[in-house]
């Protein structure tokens, strides 16, 4: 039986969680913003680079929430790993980054969490450098669902840490 | 009948499934997902994959809200899913509630709410960015202006000194060109500073009584000379019933009228310039006065008559007509600050008329200003005065030194830092009669130095007149200087007359 892992994407609304999943699973992108309510679940079979192990990622696209404590606990049952997404263009989506990550770590201390700054196509490298102090200690990857930059990479990295 | 209605119109549809603890479907009523008995629940949708582990737990009652599934036709249905496990003797139950209609309504509301929140966050960021940009621009302009003022003061001062050194006619002409260029540069700096003040909302109307007749004559006199230099006739028509002493912003009125007149002269090659002022009415201690400036110049096409008031707008790009394109923009903004408008009536090839109606206060308590001549009368005597200049700019030091040395009755002592002021002021060997004080000193600000002087114990020290030499003359700055005990301000760049007039005024 193929290995199946539940991955949950979490973060504020409008940060691009659904777009990242659509880019990863269907390789498509749309500029239109459609709010996610509740949860969408998609899956994708991948082969982890280097190890050649096959794994099915069952990806839970949770509705965005500006307060992580309001996340419905039932959605997180059986989770194997998290991807925390914020929007590089909206400081409101990363101002509570430390609190949110601690919240996850306290409840799921053994699960891997990848932190990504999305919408990289909308900010310059200069901007990243200017905000280095905020991002440096938390961010694993900068992604763009629009261009596809680092999208495969983030899911592959997480999958690798799950098997 | 009721059953038929329920079948047709019931909006939520529920499916009941009995599964074993491994997730194999044992029984189903097939309301939503059909023919699924014998299959594994994860075959319905990936959602159920993560449920399998919970089925082995006892007496669990889990509710999953707003789960998006796909029905057999591939349509999205939005459901609540209930999972109930029992004591281990009875198999688990799964209930799927189709609440698509309900959740679709919620989706619409959430869409509007989220879009509105995101848009307001973006607007807030844009606003913050614009504010930062504006602050940077204003700081840049203020610093740039400041840096330019010292060298301009130097050029103006030494040009005056050069004129008195027995120059040939040719050299005198060169100096005139130099003066004209420097004054033009000085005006450009003033204009840029004014427009930046206007754009940052710092420009304010300062109400003070002034002699309107004198001001109009003074403006007319300057522009008459400039008109005649171009061979233009300069006609003035000031109504005799204009009030003499009025309350208003004298400096801004001077600038509005001067800008309109300079513009008229610049764009007129033959004919005349007419400068009119007349009283419309006097009511409730307010005089409404009509100002009109007409020329016989090149005129303005109708489609451009609004855009000529925009900053940096020069319709005619010919090198013949130089200028920053700020004069009309400044005039328009200043008039608008008083709640009025400038109107333009123009025909290409025939000329233009700019006019405006402005209100002034009329108050019997207003007294006639002393004329400048009276204020500045100062008889050079044999008495020598000790002036302390506090300024780190070598150009300013040299300029002030030359200006004072030419008069013969001033001794100049120089301090380049604020900390040197008190020891010099309290030195009984050479008592200081007046301090010329730069504000932007390398160690402490000039206004702080003034405060220290005013706190000195000896009356003869703390009463020394202090004149600030500075480019920072915003209303807030002036208030700050006054509060610090600074008696007067000479704006950089200054010329010989201005500096000497102020010094004499305070030494009287």
B431-475 pLDDT, tens digit each: 899 999 999 888 899 999 999 999 998 888 889 999 999 877 777
Q: Complex ipTM, two decimals? A: 0.90
Helices H / strands E in chain A, number of each: 5, 6
**Contact between chains at B118 and A90 (C-beta distance less than 8 A):** yes
Closest by Cβ to B103, choosing from A38, A79, A90: A38
The verdict on a CB contact (< 8 Å) between A6 and B49 is yes
Q: Using the predicted structure, report yes or no on whether residue B145 has a pLDDT greater than 90.
A: no
Q: How far apart are the first and last CA of chain B?
A: 111
Q: Is B496 found in the same domain as B356?
A: no
Query: What are the residue ranges of helices labelled H in B68-168?
Result: 100-163
Q: Closest Cα to residue A66, out of B491, B337, B113?
A: B113
Q: With CA atoms as reference, report the closest residue to A121 among A140, A137, A143, A141.
A: A143
Is A38 close to B66, i.e. CB distance below 8 A?
A: yes
The pLDDT assigned to A137 comes to 87
Whole-number Å distance between alpha carbons of B325 and B263: 10
Q: Which of A95, A93, A100, A98 is nearest to A119 (CA)?
A: A93
Strands (E), B307-361: 342-347, 351-361
Backbone angles phi, psi at B110, to 5 degrees: -65, -40
- The CA distances from residue B35 to B7, B26, B42, B44, B308, in Å, are 20, 11, 14, 11, 78
Residue B414 sits in the same domain as residue B351: no
**Rounded to whole angstroms, how far apart are CA atoms A149 and A123?**
13
Q: Do B268 and B384 share a domain, yes or no? A: no
B-chain residues within 8 Å CB-CB of A35?
A: 107, 110-111, 114-115
Alpha-carbon gap, residue A78 to B83, rounded angstroms: 14
Same domain, B399 and B477: yes
Among residues B335, B346, B357, B224, the alpha carbon closest in space to that of B295 is found at B346
pLDDT recorded at residue A70: 92
* For residue B332, pLDDT beyond 90: yes
**Best residue in A74, A111, A122 for a mutation probing chain B (most B CBs within 10 Å):** A74
pLDDT tens-place string over residues B333-366: 999 988 999 999 999 999 999 999 999 998 877 7
B302 and B438 in a single domain? The answer is no
First to last CA, chain A: 14
Residue B188 domain-assigned?
A: yes
What is the number of CB-based contacts under 8 A between chain A and chain B?
71
Domain co-membership, B330 together with B458? no
Give the confidence band of B322 by pLDDT, cuts at 50, 70, 90: low
Chain A residues touching residue B125 (CB < 8 angstroms): 89-91
Average pLDDT over residues B404-426: 88
B184: how many CB neighbours lie within 10 A of its CB? 12
Instruction: Looking at the structure, tell me whether residues B151 and B222 fall in a common domain.
Output: no
Of A4, A13, A34, the CB nearest to B49: A4
Pair (B218, B313) in one structural domain? yes
- When pLDDT is cut at 50, 70 and 90, the band that residue B491 belongs to is confident
Look up the domain containing A146 and give its range. 3-162
Minimum distance, in Å, between the CA of residue B146 and any CA atom of chain A: 30
- Using the beta-carbon criterion (under 8 Å), do B106 and A74 form an inter-chain contact? no
- DSSP H or E stretch at residue B64: strand B61-70
CATH code, B87? 3.30.450.20
> Please, where are the H alpha helices in chain A?
17-26, 97-107, 125-130, 132-135, 151-162
Q: What is the dihedral of CA B181, B185, B187, B191, to 10 degrees?
A: 150
Asked whether residue B116 is domain-assigned, the answer is no
Mean pLDDT of B70-97: 92
Confidence of residue B377 (pLDDT cuts 50, 70, 90): very low
When mean pLDDT is compared over A78-92, A128-142, B381-395, B470-484, the highest value belongs to A78-92
The answer to whether position B124 is within a domain reads no
What is the total count of domains within chain A? 1
What does the pLDDT average to over B141-148?
A: 76
Distances (CA, A) of B18 to A79, B13, B40, B496: 24, 17, 11, 102
The verdict on residue B337 lying in a domain is yes
Q: How confident is the model at residue B132 (pLDDT cuts 50, 70, 90)?
A: confident
Torsions phi, psi for A47 (to 5 deg):
-110, 125
8 Å CB contact of A72 and B65: yes
Instruction: Provide DSSP, B195-211.
Output: HHHHHTT------EEEE
How many Å apart are CA B121 and CA B114, to the nearest integer?
11
Hey, are the CB atoms on A75 and B103 less than 8 Å from each other?
no
Residue B113 domain-assigned (yes or no): no
Higher pLDDT, B494 or B373: B494
d(CA B264, CA A100): 66
| pLDDT above 60 for B372 | no
Q: Poorest-confidence range of A158-162, B57-61, B195-199?
A: B195-199
Q: What is the pLDDT of residue B374?
A: 44
Provide the pairing of β-strand B410-415 with B385-390.
parallel
Are A37 and B63 an interchain contact pair (Cβ–Cβ within 8 Å)? Answer: no
Residue A84: pLDDT band (50, 70, 90) is: very high
Residue B46 Ramachandran class (φ > 0 left, ψ -120 to 50 alpha, else beta): alpha
Nearest to B465 by CA among B398, B405, B387, B390: B387
Of A33, A41, A64, the CB nearest to B46: A41
Give the residue from chain A lying closest to B105, CA to CA: A37
CATH, residue B380: 3.40.50.2300
CATH code for the domain in which residue A83 is found: 3.40.50.300
Between A139 and B197, where is the model more confident? A139
Q: Is residue B150 part of a domain?
A: yes
Interface touch A74/B115, C-beta < 8 Å: no
Instruction: Please report residues of B whose CB lies closer than 8 A to that of A79.
Output: 50
- Claim to verify: residue B354 and residue B441 sit in the same structural domain: no
Say if the Cβ atoms of B54 and A77 lie within 8 Å.
yes
Residue with the bigger pLDDT between B136 and B113: it is: B113
**B49–A13 C-beta distance less than 8 A:** no
Identify the closest residue of chain A to B47 by CA–CA distance.
A41
pLDDT of residue B324: 64
Q: With 60 as the cut, is the pLDDT of residue B241 above it?
A: yes
- In angstroms, the CA B450 to CA B465 distance is 10
**B111 in a domain, yes or no?**
no
Residues of A in contact with B47 (CB under 8 A): 39, 41
Select from A38, A58, A89 the Cβ nearest to the Cβ of B78.
A38
Q: Of the given ranges (B243-252, B331-340, B493-502), which has the lowest mean pLDDT?
A: B493-502
Nearest-neighbour CA in chain A from B7: distance (Å): 27
Number of domains in chain B: 4
Q: Which residues of B touch A14 (CB under 8 A)?
A: 114, 117-118
pLDDT band, residue B375 (cuts 50/70/90)? very low
Separation between Cα atoms, residue B398 and residue B283, nearest integer Å: 54
A91 pLDDT more than 70: yes
Position B203 pLDDT exceeds 70: yes
Considering only CB atoms, which chain B residues are within 8 Å of A78? 50-51, 53-54
Write b or e for each residue in A37-69: b if 16 or more Cβ atoms lie within 10 A of its Cβ, otherwise e: bbbbbbbbebebeeeeeebbbbbbbbbbeeebe
The string of DSSP codes covering B269-316 is SSSEEEEEEEEEEEETTEEEEEEEEEE-SS---GGGTTGGGSTT--S-
**Average pLDDT value for residue range A111-140:** 92
**Residue B56: inside a domain:** yes
- Report, as an integer, the average pLDDT of A87-104: 94
Using a CB-CB cut-off of 8 Å, the residues of chain B touching A75 are 64
pLDDT-derived band at B495 (thresholds 50, 70, 90) equals confident
Looking at the fold, whether B312 and B218 belong to one and the same domain comes out as yes
In terms of residue numbers, what domain contains B85?
Answer: 10-98
Q: Which residues of B touch A81 (CB under 8 A)?
A: none
């Amino acid at each position: 039986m193929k290995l199946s892992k539940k991955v949950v994407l979490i973060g504020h609304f409008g940060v691009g969680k659904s777009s990242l999943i659509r880019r990863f699973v269907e390789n498509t992108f749309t500029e239109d913003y459609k709010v996610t309510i509740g949860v969408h679940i998609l899956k994708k079979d991948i082969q982890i680079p280097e190890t050649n192990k096959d794994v099915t990622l069952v990806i839970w696209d949770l509705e965005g929430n500006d307060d992580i404590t309001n996340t419905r606990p039932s959605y997180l049952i059986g989770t194997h790993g998290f991807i925390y997404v914020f929007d590089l263009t909206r400081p409101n989506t990363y101002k509570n980054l430390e609190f949110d990550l601690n919240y996850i770590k306290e409840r799921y201390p053994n699960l891997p969490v990848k932190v990504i700054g999305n919408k990289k196509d909308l900010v310059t490298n200069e901007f990243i450098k200017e905000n280095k102090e905020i991002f440096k200690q938390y961010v694993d990857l900068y992604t763009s669902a629009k261009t596809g930059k680092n999208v495969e990479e983030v899911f592959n990295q997480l999958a690798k840490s799950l098997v | 009948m009721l059953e038929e209605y329920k079948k047709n119109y019931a909006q939520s549809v529920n499916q009941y499934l009995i599964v074993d603890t491994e997730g194999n479907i044992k029984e189903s009523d097939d309301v939503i997902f059909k023919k699924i008995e014998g299959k594994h629940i994860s075959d319905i949708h990936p959602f159920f994959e993560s449920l399998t582990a919970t089925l082995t737990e006892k007496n669990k009652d889990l509710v999953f809200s707003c789960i998006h599934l796909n029905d057999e036709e591939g349509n999205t249905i939005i459901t609540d899913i209930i999972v109930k496990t029992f004591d281990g003797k009875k198999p688990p139950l799964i209930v799927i509630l189709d609440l698509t209609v309900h959740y679709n309504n919620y989706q619409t509301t959430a869409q509007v709410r989220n879009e509105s929140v995101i848009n307001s966050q973006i607007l807030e960021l844009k606003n913050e960015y614009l504010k930062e940009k504006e602050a940077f621009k204003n700081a840049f302009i203020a610093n740039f202006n400041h840096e330019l003022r010292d060298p301009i003061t130097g050029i103006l001062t030494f040009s005056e000194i050069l004129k008195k050194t027995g120059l040939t006619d040719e050299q005198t002409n060169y100096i005139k060109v130099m003066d004209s260029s420097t004054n033009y540069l000085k005006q450009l700096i003033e204009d840029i500073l004014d427009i930046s003040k206007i754009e940052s909302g710092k420009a304010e109307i300062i109400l003070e009584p002034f002699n309107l007749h004198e001001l109009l004559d003074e403006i007319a006199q300057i522009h008459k000379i400039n008109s005649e230099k171009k061979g233009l006739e300069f006609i003035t028509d000031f109504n005799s019933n204009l009030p003499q002493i009025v309350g208003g912003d004298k400096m801004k009125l001077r600038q509005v009228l001067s800008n309109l007149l300079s513009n008229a002269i610049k764009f007129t090659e033959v004919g005349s310039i007419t400068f009119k002022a007349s009283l419309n009415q006097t009511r409730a201690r307010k005089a409404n006065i009509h100002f009109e400036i007409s020329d016989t110049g090149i005129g303005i096409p109708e489609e451009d008559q609004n855009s000529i008031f925009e900053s940096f707008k020069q319709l005619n790009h010919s090198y013949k007509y130089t200028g920053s394109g700020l004069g009309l923009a400044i005039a328009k903004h200043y008039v608008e600050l008083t709640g009025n408008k400038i109107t333009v009536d123009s025909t290409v090839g025939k000329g233009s008329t700019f006019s405006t109606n402005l209100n002034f206060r009329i108050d019997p308590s207003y007294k006639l200003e002393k004329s400048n001549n009276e204020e500045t009368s100062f008889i050079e005597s044999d008495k020598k005065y000790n002036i302390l200049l506090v300024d780190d700019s070598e150009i300013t030091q040299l300029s002030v030194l030359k200006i004072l040395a030419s008069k013969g009755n001033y001794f100049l002592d120089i301090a380049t830092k604020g900390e040197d002021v008190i020891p010099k002021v309290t030195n009984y060997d050479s008592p200081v009669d007046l301090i010329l004080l730069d504000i932007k000193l390398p160690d402490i600000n000039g206004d702080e130095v003034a405060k220290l002087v005013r706190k000195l114990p000896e009356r003869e020290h703390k009463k020394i007149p202090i004149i600030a030499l500075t480019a920072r003359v915003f209303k807030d700055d002036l208030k700050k200087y006054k509060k610090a005990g600074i008696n007067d301000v000479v704006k950089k760049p200054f010329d010989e007359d201005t500096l000497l007039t102020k010094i004499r005024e305070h030494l009287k």
